[in-house]
């Protein structure tokens, strides 16, 4: 069984680019908290955009800054292990910044994928990608699939009991 590489340092990202210079590298990013069907569809479509999928995962601190103190539900070390086990993910790394802009210059991905619901909020990432000559692919959202909806449904069902 293939297991994705966990990248711990920026220098490893540079080496990854060098080792895969003949492959089309795709970068996507997100919290990937409570992995669900929408996430799986996003990751599969991202992989279909190239040969080698690198997933940048928001650190716990980054998630808290972006989404509030109640998230993430699943700690970053567990989110990484879950993503690492997916057959279409080739490499995973954690980033502590609020966006992945600096990683376009380090990794030089051929394609950056982002969910349509995030495109407005992460406009800076899109501009940074385009400035580094990275193709941007916006992935259509799968309706009714979100971590927040899952959490709210659990709360609602517990409230009724």
Residues 147 and 144: their CA atoms lie apart, in Å, by 10
**Which pLDDT value is given to residue 3?**
81
Structure tokens at 92: 């995973």
Q: Give the CA count within 13 Å in the CB-facing half-sphere of 58.
A: 20
Residues 149 and 145: their CA atoms lie apart, in Å, by 7
DSSP 141: P
Contact 65, 42 (CB under 8 A): no
Number of structural domains found in the chain: 1
Phi/psi for 5 (5° steps) reads: -80, 135
**Which pLDDT value is given to residue 54?**
98
Q: For 74-125, how does the pLDDT look when each residue is reduced to its tens digit (9 = 90+)?
A: 999 999 999 999 999 999 999 999 899 999 999 999 999 998 877 777 788 8
Q: For 40-59, how does the pLDDT look when each residue is reduced to its tens digit (9 = 90+)?
A: 999 999 999 999 999 999 99
**Which pLDDT value is given to residue 39?**
92
The alpha carbon dihedral of 117, 115, 27, 149 has a sign of positive
Give the range of the structural domain holding residue 55, as residue numbers without chain letter. Answer: 5-160
Taking 70 as the threshold, does the pLDDT of residue 137 lie above it?
Answer: yes
Domain CATH for 77 = 3.40.50.620
Residues 41 and 140: their CA atoms lie apart, in Å, by 10
Mean pLDDT on 131-147: 81
Taking 90 as the threshold, does the pLDDT of residue 20 lie above it?
Answer: yes
């Amino acid at each position: 069984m293939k297991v994705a590489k966990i990248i711990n340092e920026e220098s490893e990202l540079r080496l990854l680019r060098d080792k895969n210079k003949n492959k089309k590298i795709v970068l996507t990013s997100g919290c990937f908290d409570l992995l669900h069907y929408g996430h799986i569809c996003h990751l599969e479509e991202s992989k279909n955009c190239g040969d080698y999928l690198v997933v940048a995962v928001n650190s716990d601190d980054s998630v808290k800054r972006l989404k509030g103190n109640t998230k993430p539900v699943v700690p970053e070390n567990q989110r990484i292990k879950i993503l690492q086990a997916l057959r279409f993910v080739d490499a995973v790394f954690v980033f502590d910044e609020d966006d992945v802009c600096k990683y376009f210059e380090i990794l030089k991905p051929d394609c950056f994928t982002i969910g349509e619901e995030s495109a407005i909020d992460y406009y800076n990432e899109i501009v940074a990608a385009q400035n580094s000559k990275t193709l941007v692919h916006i992935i259509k959202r799968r309706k009714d699939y979100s971590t927040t909806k899952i959490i709210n449904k659990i709360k609602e069902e517990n409230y009724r009991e």
